[in-house]
Structure 1
Amino acid sequence: MRPRIYLGDNLSIGPGKIELLKQINIMKSISGAARALSIPYKKAWSLIDVLNQGFGGQVIETSIGGKAGGSARLTPLGQKIIDSYEALEKKLNKSAKKELDAFYSLLNIS
């Protein structure tokens, strides 16, 4: 189960934004993360902006580069968002095992 959490009228956090943050952490690049997730660069920046505005702080830091290009990395806030989401996801999956198993059992119906 991959939850989407609504934290008000203008902010939600779910698998897409979490995967974007994870890919930025791996690739050290917003454009690289966008390519890895097959989303447009502009969409990736838009999702980051939503997180920045919603959480009231920067979730990534960027640096402008020369020939080698710039880079991006998670801020402590960005890492805390990933950690909190993954902890909640793990807890939800564990506590809802019986109900999730019931859904999976329905897949075996002919």
Structure 2
Amino acid sequence: MVGPLKLKAQLFCGDEIAMGPGKADLLDAIDTHGSISAAGRALGMSYRRTWLLVDTMNRCWREPLVDTAAGGPHGGGARLSPLGRQVLQRFRTIERKMAEAVEGDPLLMLLEPMRAAPKTSRQD
């Protein structure tokens, strides 16, 4: 968000969202927590939802963005692949540049004639 302006970048692979803000947040959380399930918990997402998002990302890129290790006596876990780190970094750069493009005068000029809140509608 830049003030009241919401900017949202999404990259599509066919009809699937290969990368967007939510998937980038999930990659950040996996990187922080070292686990897909722990990342999901940190983001308030169900276990199933996190795995579906990771599966979509891994199917949309030429190489997986998330590498996983099965659980067991020595534990499992997940980590970003080198491509996953690269994609995340580049996506965050795109988000930053989008926000910078509308900061300052362009946004102020757009917001100047806008109301602080919508008028109450009349129901005749």
Of 68, 73, 78 in structure 2, the residue corresponding to residue 62 of structure 1 is 68
TM-score of the two chains, using structure 1 as the length reference: 0.83
Bigger helix fraction? 1
Q: What's the CA shift for 1:24?
A: 0.3
Secondary structure (helix, strand or coil) at the match of 2:8 reads: coil
Moved more, 39-48 or 63-72: 63-72
In the alignment, structure 1 residue 27 sits paired with structure 2 residue 27: no
Q: What's the CA shift for 1:107?
A: 6.6
In the alignment, structure 1 residue 93 sits paired with structure 2 residue 62: no
Give the conservation status (yes or no) of the 8 Å contact 2:9–2:95: no
Question: Aligned ranges for residues 7-18 of structure 1 at < 5 Å?
Answer: 7-12=12-17, 13-18=19-24
Of 28, 52, 56 in structure 1, the residue corresponding to residue 58 of structure 2 is 52
Moved more, 4-13 or 29-38: 4-13
Structural RMSD (CA): 2.3
In the alignment, structure 1 residue 4 sits paired with structure 2 residue 9: yes
Quote the sequence identity (%). 31
Q: 1:66 and 1:95, CA in 2 relative to 1: closer, same or farther beyond 3 A?
A: same
Larger radius of gyration: 2
What residue identity is the alignment partner of 1:51? M
Equivalences, count: 110
Gaps of 5+ in 2: 2-6, 119-124
Q: Which string of whole-angstrom CA distances, capped at 9 and with x for unpartnered residues, describes residues 44-87 of structure 1?
A: 01001111111132111112243452111100111111111111
Gaps of 5+ in 1: none
